[in-house]
Amino acid sequence: MATAQDIRPRKDELAPHAQYLSTSPSASFHSPSSHGSALQRIIPVANAKHLKPFATEDIKVLLLENVNQAGRDILSAQGYQVEFLKSSLPEDQLIEKIRDVHVIGIRSKTKLSERVLKEAKNLIVIGCFCIGTNQVDLQYAADHGIAVFNSPFSNSRSVAELVIGEIIALARQLGDRSIEMHNGIWNKVSNKCWEIRGKTLGIVGYGHIGAQLSVLAESMGMSVIFYDVVNLMALGSARQVDTLDALMAEADFITLHVPELPETKGMIGQKQFDQMKTGSYLINASRGSVVQIPALIDAMRSGKVAGAALDVYPNEPAGNGDYFNNDLNTWATDLRALKNLIITPHIGGSTEEAQSAIGVEVAQALTRYVNEGTTLGAVNLPEVNLRSLTMEEPNHARVVYIHKNIPGVLRTVNEIIGDHNVDKQMTDSRGDVAYLMADISDVNNQTIKDLYERLESLPSRIMTRILY
Ligand SMILES: NC(=O)c1ccc[n+]([C@@H]2O[C@H](COP(=O)([O-])OP(=O)(O)OC[C@H]3O[C@@H](n4cnc5c(N)ncnc54)[C@H](O)[C@@H]3O)[C@@H](O)[C@H]2O)c1
């Protein structure tokens, strides 16, 4: 199997801080450069050439926090040296380990701070086998040419299915009946228990999760309306409405699937509850800051809202335990006392299938980056891709030059690589960091070495890699 390796850059001058680093799923989802297209642009080529590095080291991978087996298998199959640990590491041990590795895979507990990354002299890429990337100093990583990948949408289906379950559970007051039975109480009622067939589901935020949910809800006989800040193609017979107000007034069940943004903070408060139909239901499995919980408590006490399901909260504990109390959120006791309220500990995306999908997606992104230099899906570098080199191109090499985004760099780089035939080239920038990828022909070991040394000597250099 291919054992692609990279060329190490010298680490000296740092690029000034990049201006734009977004981890918002919506930024990726709606960005013209990647809207639904990242995977479409990664088209496997049947006779794709497995690139290998100019240098001779093996690629060393450190996987922490019990990264899913599916992801481990993909990386091992590449012939990389994979070290796997079930837990995260204390910072000092992490620093010791990270010095050696080219690739690190983590989940949410491992903090890759500037202090840690400073020691990671060989690191070229970080895989976050999870949704969030807050645990990584993205800016420092970008400034040093270290790409960061995550898997923001692998659990969309899991969330959508949970919401479907909750719609039925709320309509039938399942939570209350179950608690009563656990307490030995037989309470057979049909009053205010409903079928969901023929009811209207209002989806706020028609992205990855909202759209999945739309299809599932219609298949169970619900009418679907949605509100989104972007005009989107409705799936099935769903209908986009122009305003949040219109959605609040029309829907029997309202479910929230927006990202956490300044505009979505507290977007459902007393005004929105007043607009809802009496006896309607609210579900929030998006982010805890979206709903004003005291207003929800009032709306449920008054009977305006007949039931609610919450999976996310303004403050959530860092670990499992008896933490869901007033110390965490001042209204916790009042909330917990409400009838027909389903409260779950942020489990919307927590399924075996989602973990496995995350493992595959992130491991594939790491492999593509190491072997081919492709940054599609990176959260801290510009997204750059070229179609694969093929077996029919034996004397070709791929130059990856990560550099400071300053005037004149491309001219200088093209003077260096321009002695060769540049078959294809792409460059893009994100804030102060730019990423250039070029496939050149008619190279041999000596010309690759010369190219590498000349690119490395440029003052704009952050990292140079040559794959051939
Ligand atoms: N409970 C869980 O375990 C869990 C798991 C995964 C995701 N989530 C959360 O679910 C939410 C949705 O995730 P997704 O993957 O569907 O995101 P997404 O980016 O695919 O879709 C979000 C949609 O919301 C829309 N939007 C943005 N601002 C809006 C506004 N002010 N009003 C109306 N629409 C707006 C966007 O245009 C986009 O279509 C996110 O907050 C995410 O963090 C929760």
Residue 16 predicted with pLDDT over 80: no
- Does the reported pTM lie above 0.85? no
- Residue 346 is among the residues annotated as catalytic for this protein: yes
Mean pLDDT of 373-380: 97
Cα 261 to averaged position of ligand 1 atoms, centre (Å): 10
- Say how far apart CA 425 and CA 428 lie, in whole Å: 10
Residue 306 predicted with pLDDT over 90: yes
Residue 40 predicted with pLDDT over 60: no
Confidence band, pLDDT 50/70/90 cuts, at residue 382: very high
Q: Is the CB of 312 under 6 A from ligand 1?
A: yes
Q: So what's the pLDDT on residue 57?
A: 61
> Maximum CA pair distance of the chain?
84
In the beta sheet, which residues pair with residue 253?
201, 281
User: DSSP letters along 255-298, please?
Assistant: EE-----TTTTT-BSHHHHHHSPTTEEEEE-S-GGGB-HHHHHH
* Active-site position among 30, 346, 393, 454: 346
Mean pLDDT of 37-56: 55
Q: So what's the pLDDT on residue 67?
A: 94
Residue 167 predicted with pLDDT over 50: yes
- Write the residue with the smallest CA distance to atom 12 of ligand 1: 257
Mind listing the pLDDT tens digit for each residue in 239-267? 999 999 999 999 999 999 999 999 999 99
Residue 21 predicted with pLDDT over 70: no
In the beta sheet, which residues pair with residue 127?
105, 149
Q: What is the 3-state secondary structure (H, E, C) of 154-191?
A: CCHHHHHHHHHHHHHHHHCCHHHHHHHHHCCCCCCCCC
Which of 21-35, 268-282, 431-445 ranks highest by mean pLDDT? 268-282
Structural domains in the chain, CATH included, are 60-150+355-372 (3.40.50.720), 162-343 (3.40.50.720), 383-467 (3.30.70.260)
Higher per-residue pLDDT: 40 or 285: 285
CB 9 within 8 A of CB 64: no
- Among 161, 258, 312, name the best residue to mutate to test ligand 1's pocket (greatest count of ligand atoms within 8 A of Cβ): 258
β-strand 397-404 against 433-441: which pairing, if any? antiparallel
Nearest atom in ligand 1 to the alpha carbon of residue 311 is 1
Mean pLDDT of 164-170: 98
Q: Which amino acid is at 134?
A: N
Q: Is the CB of 349 under 6 A from ligand 1?
A: yes
Residue 60 predicted with pLDDT over 50: yes
A 10 A CB-CB count for 44 gives: 6
Cα 228 to averaged position of ligand 1 atoms, centre (Å): 10
Percent composition of the chain: helix, strand, coil (DSSP 3-state, to 5):
30, 20, 50
Q: Is the CB of 24 under 6 A from ligand 1?
A: no
Which structure tokens are listed for 32? 């013209």
Mind listing the pLDDT tens digit for each residue in 210-245? 999 999 999 999 999 999 999 999 999 999 999 999
Question: How far does Cα 330 stand from its chain's mean position?
Answer: 30
Q: Is 447 helix (H, G, I), strand (E, B) or coil?
A: helix
425: exposed, middle or buried (C-beta count within 10 Å: 0-12, 13-18, 19+)? middle
Q: So what's the pLDDT on residue 28?
A: 32
Higher per-residue pLDDT: 277 or 9: 277
| pLDDT above 90 coverage of the chain, percent | 80
Nearest atom in ligand 1 to the alpha carbon of residue 162 is 1
- Say how far apart CA 40 and CA 411 lie, in whole Å: 31
Q: Is the CB of 257 under 6 A from ligand 1?
A: yes
- Residue 316 is among the residues annotated as catalytic for this protein: yes
Mind listing the pLDDT tens digit for each residue in 70-116? 999 999 999 999 999 999 999 999 999 999 999 999 998 899 999 99
Nearest atom in ligand 1 to the alpha carbon of residue 230 is 37
* Active-site position among 102, 177, 208, 287: 287
Question: Looking up tokens 């994100």, which residue turns up?
Answer: 430
- Write the residue with the smallest CA distance to atom 30 of ligand 1: 229
Residue 37 predicted with pLDDT over 60: no
- Among 34, 226, 228, 291, name the best residue to mutate to test ligand 1's pocket (greatest count of ligand atoms within 8 A of Cβ): 228
- Say how far apart CA 273 and CA 12 lie, in whole Å: 56
β-strand 341-343 against 200-204: which pairing, if any? unpaired
- Distance set, CA 141 to CA 76, 145, 366, 433, 458 (Å): 25, 6, 15, 11, 20
A 10 A CB-CB count for 454 gives: 16
Q: So what's the pLDDT on residue 46?
A: 62
Q: So what's the pLDDT on residue 45?
A: 58
Residue 146 predicted with pLDDT over 70: yes
Q: Is the CB of 348 under 6 A from ligand 1?
A: yes
Cα 226 to averaged position of ligand 1 atoms, centre (Å): 13
